[in-house]
Amino acid sequence: MKRSQTFLLGLIGVFAALAFIIVLPFVEYVVLAALLAYVLHPVHRRLEARLGETTAAVALIVGTLLAIVAPLLYVISVFVADLRSIARGGSGLNVAVVETQILEATGIEVDLAEILTSSAQQIFTVLFGGVGGVVATTLKIGMGIAVMVFLLYYLLLEGEAFVVWFYDLVPLPDHVTDRLLEKLDATTWGVVVGHISVAVAQALLAGVGLWVAGVPDASFWTFIMIILSLLPLIGAFMVWGPAAAYLVVVGDVGSGVLLALYGLIVVSLFDNYARPIVIDRRAHINPGVLLLGVVGGIYAVGFTGVFVGPIVIGVLVAAMETYRTEFDAV
């Protein structure tokens, strides 16, 4: 390799590392902007014929902020409030009755209040860096949303040009690049539209059941179910099942039985029927792997890791599969 090529590659490596360090604090918002641009691109293509390219992009961004970001921020604020309340011992659950029932049935004393408090404190620390980190997290989210909106605007306008640039830049045969992009498209669609959307919808359905049944902090448990719903078969049952049992134990038998029936008939059947319909079968994404991405993503980058983690793992799997099929036999 010539000295000039070596120098240029070294220069690219150094500045790529510096660029990564600069982008790292907001990498989740960069990924979110890319995902939103991916989802909104077909809509933008249709609108630009009527409104023009720029107006269509602005309209889509405003609509996205009103339809997704604003409600999401509200849900996060409610979740934080509930989490802080539980961390301070205000779970709203009648833990004394449950502890008495467990003691009478098993002879074992269980301090449920302490378990709930310590668990909430740990979750709070992982997501927000403790109580003192809430303000810093709020400021970061505000800046991140601004970055996301800025990138989303230009990705909607220049997305196709970026794909062309990607084709020219990647040192792969065209058919290999096409195959890789097809796998990336199937993986991204499976994660965003498939597993995550079904998990969110299933958790919201179960959350409505918790709220109607009178379970305290229903919004908090709904957020937990969004993550657990990525687990096959059991998923949200890990929340609404014990919630139904709790209602029975504290004496609200009717609500507990109705919640159990609602969970079995509505929540579980929705997951069983919706997931095969919504998910693109080409993706072949294992929900267990996605759960690992969700939990690891939340731990690494915060709340938006719900989306970032599975996408990163999905892209890795797609790249490895492409390498196996195209180059492993060479």
**Band (283; pLDDT cuts 50, 70, 90):** low
C-alpha to C-alpha distances, 284 to 178, 187, 238, 279, nearest whole angstrom: 18, 8, 25, 9
Q: Check residue 326 and give its pLDDT.
A: 73
pLDDT digits (tens, 9 = 90+) for 220-241: 788 778 877 766 556 788 888 8
Express each pLDDT in 163-189 by its tens digit: 888 888 878 787 788 877 877 777 777
Round to whole Å and give the CA distance between 230 and 307: 12
Closest CA to 134 of 93, 77, 176: 77
Cβ atoms of 136 and 129 within 8 Å: the answer is yes
DSSP state of 24: G
Q: Report yes or no on 1 lying in a domain.
A: no
Q: Give the domain extent around 135.
A: 23-169
51 & 134 share domain:
yes
Radius of gyration of the chain from Cα atoms?
23
pLDDT for res 226: 80
- Statement to judge: residues 161 and 178 lie in one domain: no
Q: Is the pLDDT of residue 97 over 60?
A: yes
Mean pLDDT of 98-119: 69
Q: What is the pLDDT of residue 126?
A: 60
Q: What is the pLDDT of residues 290-307, one digit of tens each?
A: 667 777 777 776 666 766
**Domain stop point among 108, 140, 169:** 169
Q: Residue 286: which pLDDT band, with cuts at 50, 70 and 90?
A: low
Percent of the chain surpassing pLDDT 90: 2
329 pLDDT tier (thresholds 50, 70, 90): low
**In a shared domain, residues 129 and 185:** no
3-state SS assignment for residue 172: coil
State which amino acid sits at residue 20.
F
Q: How far apart are CA 51 and CA 80, in angstroms?
A: 40
Confidence of residue 35 (pLDDT cuts 50, 70, 90): confident
- Per-residue pLDDT at 269 exceeds 70: yes
**Are the CB atoms for 82 and 207 separated by under 8 Å?**
no
What are the tens digits of pLDDT across the range 115-145?
777 776 666 666 655 555 556 667 777 788 8
pLDDT digits (tens, 9 = 90+) for 50-90: 888 888 889 888 888 887 777 767 777 777 777 677 666 66
Chain-centroid distance of CA 17 in Å reads 27
What is the number of domains present in the chain?
A: 2
The alpha helices in the chain, defined as continuous H runs, are: 3-23, 27-51, 53-64, 70-87, 95-106, 112-128, 133-169, 174-189, 197-213, 218-228, 237-249, 253-262, 268-278, 287-301, 305-327
Give yes or no: residues 192 and 234 share one domain.
yes
How much is the average pLDDT of 184-202?
77
The verdict on 252 and 329 lying in the same domain is: yes
Could you tell me if 40 and 136 lie in one domain? yes
With a cut of 70, say whether residue 249 has pLDDT above it: yes
* C-alpha to C-alpha distance for 67 and 25, rounded to whole angstroms: 25
Nearest in space to 250 (alpha carbons), one of 50, 54, 96, 139? 96
CA 297 – CA 191 distance, rounded (Å)? 14
Q: For a pLDDT cut of 70, what percent of the chain falls above it? A: 74
Q: Say which residue the tokens 């502890």 belong to.
A: 99
Do 320 and 185 fall into the same domain? yes
Residues 205 and 146 in one domain: no
> Is the predicted pLDDT of residue 18 greater than 80, yes or no?
yes
Question: Which of the listed residues 169, 194, 227 is the one where a domain comes to its end?
Answer: 169
Q: Which of 145, 169, 193 is the last residue of a domain?
A: 169
Average pLDDT, the chain: 77
Are 90 and 162 part of one and the same domain?
yes
The pLDDT value given to residue 323? 79
Q: What is the pLDDT of residue 81?
A: 73
- What confidence tier does 92 reach under pLDDT thresholds 50, 70, 90? low
Statement to judge: residues 179 and 162 lie in one domain: no
Indicate if the pLDDT at residue 282 is higher than 60: no
Cβ atoms < 10 Å from Cβ of 276: 11
Q: Judge if 184 and 272 occupy the same domain.
A: yes
CB burial of 142-162 (b: ≥16 within 10 Å; e: otherwise) equals eebbebbbebbbebbbebeee
